[in-house]
Amino acid sequence: MKVYPIKFNPILKEKIWGGNKLANLLGKTTEKDNVGESWEISDVNGNISTVNNGEYEGMNLKDLITNHESDLLGIDNFKNFGYNFPLLIKFLDAKTDLSVQVHPDNTMAKRKHNSFGKTEMWYIMDSDDNADIVLGLKDKNMSPKMLHHINSNNVDSVFNREKVKKGDSFFIPAGKIHAIGAGVLAAEIQQTSDITYRVYDWDRKDSNGEKRELHTQLAEKATKIFDSNGKAEYTIKPNKSTNLVDCEYFTTNVMNITKHIAKDYSNLDSFVVFMCVEGEVDITAGYYTENLKIGETVLLPAKAEEIAFNSQNAKLLEIYINNGLVQCVLIAS
């Protein structure tokens, strides 16, 4: 397999809660005013990402996996997921609050939908003053049966809300009630799944004057109670990987690149995804250099060994599946 930083055409999704930050701040090409999601790398049926650069331009993600198997995914990932890409990579813009929702775990998703579950995380790239998110229930002793009885009068007493700012990171395991709030621009990493159970949608109506469907019966069965709000406590160090999330489904680090560095990924049995969340950076692998600007994403095949980065000031999310809990080592700067 030819190793280089692979870019894909973003798949833009109009949403009732979407805005225009994906276009205005992240450079996504659209004339719509309510684009809520940019699917950067997707293997969801009907939404397969297509390569837009280099040797594999015009091929889709499924073609790449079919042709290159473990060279692209990694040996263990190919054993575990076959010809399926295990992660869905997105940018999100919430002009208004998303619906309060919950996702099933692997067991429930397999039984009900023949799908993966949906554990995810958010990295806050930008937020309006006083923006917040919904994370869990205010009362940890509250029964999930309460989800059947939420209305505009009691909603504020049911859901826990957390103020957010640029650089905050939150882990949302399957089963956790959550919603991104108005004014938040975020990067999202999740299992490959598009299953969402809506719990409450703020009584709003769609363009046809209808309220969107709720899924409270399924949500009650899916909901779990967690002690932690899932916020990462971290101190970023220049030109090093700082961990935000390390779980069985993905590892996400943040890197602040301020000069030329190179890292050795030869012991990592996984593809690596880089999302640029601030500034811009040149990424070199296999003698091919790709410039990555804020709001852009690249995929590096598992076959990649040395990857070089060059920037005066950029922030990247570094994402992979850490089957062996292997560290990727800085080799030059």
Active site residues: 198
Which of these, 220, 221, 223, 224, lies nearest to 149 by C-alpha position? 220
Which two tokens mark 231? 């916020």
Q: Return the SS3 of 60.
A: strand
CA terminus-to-terminus distance, the chain? 27
Contacts of 151 (CB under 8 A, 6+ apart): 203
Q: State the amino acid at position 108 in one-letter form.
A: M
Are 187 and 276 within 8 A, CB to CB?
no
Which of these, 269, 331, 324, lies nearest to 301 by C-alpha position? 269
Are 97 and 48 within 8 A, CB to CB?
no
Q: Return the SS3 of 204.
A: coil
Which two tokens mark 330? 């800085």
Q: State the amino acid at position 262 in one-letter form.
A: A
Burial of 151 (0-12, 13-18, 19+ CB in 10 A): exposed
How far, in Å, are 18, 182, 217, 242, 280 from residue 202 at the CA level? 15, 12, 18, 36, 37
